[in-house]
Amino acid sequence: MSVYKEVITQAFIFFPLVAILITLPYISYNYYKYGSIISLRIVIIYSFILYLLCTYFLVILPLPSIETVRNLTTPRTQLIPFAFIGDIIKDSKVVLSNPSTYISILHNRSLLQVVFNLFMTMPFGMYLRYYFKCSLKKTILLTFCLSLFFELTQLSGLYFIYPRSYRLFDVDDLIINTSGGILGYFIITPFLKILPSRKKLDDISFERGHHISFFRRFYAIIIDLICICILSLILLYLNFSTLNYILPSTVLLYFTVLPIFWKGKTIGKYWNKTKVVSTTSESAKWYQYVIRYLSLFTIFILISFVPDNLLSLIFLVLYILYIVIIMIKQKALFYEKLSRTKNISTIKE
């Protein structure tokens, strides 16, 4: 039991790194599909990933040394179905005529292994039915595939890192793990009346997606800045000019030319399902995009010409702070008023 606790602790320690890696793709998916992110969905998805991570670590850890594995002579596979029944009977110390021996069943190692393998995939079946809306047949298939993945991981010696398998490929594990997924599918049934349905979560997401939050706009800015940096580096690599000329030119062209030909969208706006239109909600004219972004970035350019670096930095921070505050208050910024443009959501349920 202490080994299991240690392995799960390691999974919890490793989870933040996994969360960092998946956060941006997860945000991108939610903004692209729903236009919003709700906290309950985050809890469900991240807890599901944490569960899978814990399960995977329980399958592969603790890792032995390569030398230890090389010297192993134990069987690599167990291909007889339901052999675990014989193992339970063999390890059992129960005497039917003596009730006092019944308690020994709790210390039956073979039985405890079966119970552990059963419980290991029960949450998987619960998640599949509740959030992913899988049928019983699909739940059985996916749970079997998950178990097969674990068994092949063991059989391959952790994808051939080891010279041979250091754990047994057991057909009974496939049967028991799949049964655990089925059990989880039915156990979640009474909770489906209490928990908000997937459809309700989607409806809330779509409803919020019609409004543009600060974080949604900030996400689009981050994506656009990444695109600008990549494009600038490409142009710099091709020796078009120096970075001092390439970067401002790229920024101006990106935010003016691209929206003109893409009906008010940039790559960031495309992914978070927003676009720029005129204040009358009609398609903006080409000069409105030019006024909008030229007025926005002109101040950045003017700030860069301030001779005092500290003063320039202070002006820059104040300017960015002003933009952030106005965005949070969801009021029109000065460049939106000048260009008579605004952001709208393009989410359609």
Distance CA 177, CA 154 (A): 15
SS (H, E, C) 241-305: CCHHHHHHHHHHHHHHHHHHHCCCCCHHHHHCCEEEEECCCCCCCHHHHHHHHHHHHHHHHHHHC
- Are 6 and 55 a contacting pair, CB within 8 Å? no
Nearest in space to 346 (alpha carbons), one of 280, 259, 272: 272
Instruction: Please report the pLDDT score of residue 110 as a whole number.
Output: 83
- Cα 54 to chain center, whole Å? 16
Output the CA torsion sign for 322, 323, 325, 329.
Answer: positive
> Per residue in 21-72, pLDDT tens?
998 889 889 999 999 999 999 999 999 999 999 999 999 998 999 999 999 8
Token code pair at residue 260 = 């003109």
Q: Work out the pLDDT band at 161, boundaries 50, 70, 90.
A: very high
Instruction: Please report the pLDDT score of residue 101 as a whole number.
Output: 66
Average pLDDT, the chain: 89
Q: What is the mean pLDDT of residues 230-243?
A: 78
Q: Which of 1-10, 40-49, 200-209 has the weakest average pLDDT?
A: 1-10
Would you list the domain boundaries of the chain? 2-203, 210-345
- Are 256 and 296 a contacting pair, CB within 8 Å? no
Distance CA 38, CA 16 (A): 20
pTM score of the predicted model: 0.85
Distance CA 312, CA 300 (A): 10
Report whether pLDDT(310) > 90.
no
**% of the chain surpassing 90 pLDDT:** 58
